[in-house]
Amino acid sequence: MALRHPAPASSLDASFLSRIASLKLHDLRLSLRPLPFTASFCLPHRVPQGSSSSPSQPSQERLVVAADALDLDASAIKRAVLTTGEVTIFNTIESFKELDKKQFLHNIATEMCRQIDSGEVEENPSLLVRCDVIVFSDLKDYKHYYWFAFPALCFPDPPTLSDSILSMEDVMSSDMIHQLHIGYNGLLESSGNGIPPFFIVVEDKDANTVSVKPLSHYPACAQSGKQVLFGFVDHSPLQSNPGWPLRNLLYFLNRRWSLSDVTVLCYRDFSENMQRESQAEWHSRQGRRADSDRVKETLSWELNQKGKLGPRCADLAPFMDPKRRAIESADLNLKLMRWRFLPNLDTESLSHKRCLLLGAGTLGCNVARSLTSWGFRKITFVDYGKVSYSNPTRQWLFEFEDCLSLSRSDVSLQAAADRLSRIVPNMEAEGFELSIPMPGHPVAEELQGKVLADVAKLADLIQHADLIFLLTDTRESRWLPTLLCACKSKPCINVALGFDTFVVMRHGVPDPANATDPQQIPSCNLGCYFCNDVVAPMNSTRNRTLDQQCTATRPGLSPIASSIAVEIAVSLLHHPKGCLAQADTEEEQEGTDLGILPHQIRGFLSSFSNVVVQGRPFKHCTACSAVILNQYATRGNEFLLRAFNEPNFLEEASGLTDMLREGEALMEDWEDDEVEELEP
């Protein structure tokens, strides 16, 4: 009778497939590097001889692939036969289908032959119990195609049984069978990883003794002249049919030790229900030693659900929580950018960065949109205005209904935050109603407490943010956040719009390289929004016509400028020096994988052109100069109140007044000199 073995059937945990998909997306990307995994054979429900199998009683060995199969601690598993192999994850369904299956198995068989020849199998017999799986995961639709292969090393002519299967009771006394169990248990205790799949049984009929030893002891035992049986832990559920690993054992015995006529003990251990069977004695005859050119890998691919030779498909989409699916899908395109274009893109880090948007108007809405696309998930709005009828067309977080119902600014901010969460379920968005105190807007005595509370709240929000966007609609409202961000060395991205021009810039922060006095805050590495000005910010809302008040701009300008602001922020976060990075220009660049990290971009929609500009920090800047930062650091609120209340305070405090006075004096001197020289 020829030896026949159906390939085992796989039973895998859906989490294993999810883990594979995650590894493909995050770590492997386009790599086809196979990953090692470990699975185990489950104990079968025995099908009695002669009866047909039913669905509840599988007729095949069942391979269990657990959720943690990729990082299973094999040494922790004692009561199962383990199988190891590799999972190869393909990049396209076509390459998965077109894989040369024959060559694939041949490569594995060649490797197994090498392990037999090198003696590795004797030391680790589980190398003969190997399975491999090929996978294609459709990451978008959560469909996984997989196909298990159980490589079998075969002779050109299959081994045959020399006799019918014998029960152990027929060939051993009950005392010897008892010794066999004890010996096997001893082997189990001393084994490191799972149940040893193969072993030898040394029988001394004269002394009526039986001992169980590791496979590697065979050559020594054979020399002693004792009878040796080859033991094999049989998980086959069929009484009449031994399991699939027997085939590889027979090949091994022939190739390694030139054995062509062996007696095999199929050890069937059912300790879970206290029933132990150890029966079936097999003989296998093989004419000659198998050499490498006589190995023939049989087609041992698993059958699919239809009972045909083909891959199985697991569609996990129906089991996905829709919210989780939305969250994962939202990140998919970003993570795919890491496959080819930006391997070092840190999407995980972006999702944890806390973004503070000062201004929830047109710019705030557009910046929030871009941040969401980039995978930022922590967004805080600060504003004080309410939604007006003109807003929804440009401010996409608001709708017409909001103009009717949202008469209070705190409610409108919450609406904006809620809408963001409706787009991506894992968005953490919140809004704070806060009026940013401004220079040139004097604080009445009775309002001083509230204004200082607003200052404290703003300082606290900036302190806890990782990225600040300055998106307010007046120049003077940007002064206090600029000062606070510089003081706290926080990255601040400023966006300002004209009618058809914009400026997007990242503000500098105090640079330790500029430190001269350890007690003093040093000057910044780059300029801020106010560094180009020779006048302090003042109340710009007086005497303005409606078109000036509403910042009439070309509608495309805000989305363009907002997108550039977020792109600069992402580049900044990926730069090793962060906010201390010097400004790259097209000629001089350090940059990141994303390209250059500029200081500022000035855009001109009338000519559809952008210019990359670098602005030096100005030592008399009214917002970020060291002299201003140090005065604020020592005098705190008293300094701020004077800045809000006294018209020329900042110009004097920053040294701007003196500088202008000196400049005028120089001009006068120069003019006097000119006049003198002209005199005859």
Pick the catalytic residue from 42, 403, 550, 621.
Answer: 550
The span from the CA of 511 to the CA of 488, in Å, is 12
* Binding of Zn ion by 621 (CB under 5 A): yes
Q: 480 or 624: whose CB is closer to Zn ion? A: 624
Q: 624 or 656: whose CB is closer to Zn ion? A: 624
Q: Which of 85, 65, 55, 61 is nearest to 144 (CA)?
A: 65
**DSSP H or E run through 495:** strand 492-497
Closest CB 495 distance from Zn ion, rounded Å: 16
The site for Zn ion, by CB under 5 A, has a size of 6
CB within 8 Å of 77: residues ≥ 6 apart: 40, 193, 194
The span from the CA of 34 to the CA of 89, in Å, is 7
The stretch near Zn ion (CB under 5 A) out of 289-297, 448-456, 624-632, 654-662 is 624-632
Q: Which of 105, 114, 107 is nearest to 151 (CA)?
A: 105
Closest CB 615 distance from Zn ion, rounded Å: 8
What is the gyration radius of the CA atoms in the chain, in angstroms? 39
Q: What angle in degrees, to the nearest 10, is found between the helix axes of 626-635 and 479-487?
A: 80
Q: 49 or 532: whose CB is closer to Zn ion? A: 532
Closest CB 456 distance from Zn ion, rounded Å: 23
Q: 368 or 531: whose CB is closer to Zn ion? A: 531
Q: 509 or 623: whose CB is closer to Zn ion? A: 623
The stretch near Zn ion (CB under 5 A) out of 277-285, 346-354, 373-381, 622-630 is 622-630
Diameter over CA atoms, the chain: 141
Closest CB 622 distance from Zn ion, rounded Å: 8
Q: 440 or 617: whose CB is closer to Zn ion? A: 617
The stretch near Zn ion (CB under 5 A) out of 267-275, 422-430, 621-629, 667-675 is 621-629
Residue list 528-547, contact with Zn ion (CB under 5 A): 528, 530-531
**Burial per residue of 15-32, b for 16 or more beta-carbon CB atoms within 10 angstroms, e otherwise:** ebbbbbbebbbeebeeee
Is the distance from CB of 386 to CB of 409 less than 8 angstroms? yes
The stretch near Zn ion (CB under 5 A) out of 250-258, 385-393, 456-464, 619-627 is 619-627
Q: Count of CB atoms within 10 A of residue 577's CB?
A: 11
Q: Count of CB atoms within 10 A of residue 409's CB?
A: 18
> Which residue shows structure tokens 């001393």?
190
> Which residue shows structure tokens 């929580």?
321
Phi-psi category of 234—alpha, beta or left, where left has phi over 0 and alpha has psi -120 to 50? Answer: beta
* Binding of Zn ion by 12 (CB under 5 A): no
Question: x/- site string to Zn ion, residues 499 to 528, per CB under 5 A?
Answer: -----------------------------x
CA 38 vs CA 31, 72, 88, 304, 502: distances in Å = 21, 6, 14, 21, 58
Residue list 228-257, contact with Zn ion (CB under 5 A): none
Annotation marks residue 485 as catalytic: no
Residue list 429-448, contact with Zn ion (CB under 5 A): none
Q: 199 or 530: whose CB is closer to Zn ion? A: 530
Closest CB 597 distance from Zn ion, rounded Å: 19
Pick one of 451, 467, 580, 624: the residue that binds Zn ion (CB under 5 A). 624
* Binding of Zn ion by 484 (CB under 5 A): no
Active site residues: 550
Given the rule CB under 5 A, which residues bind Zn ion? 528, 530-531, 621, 623-624
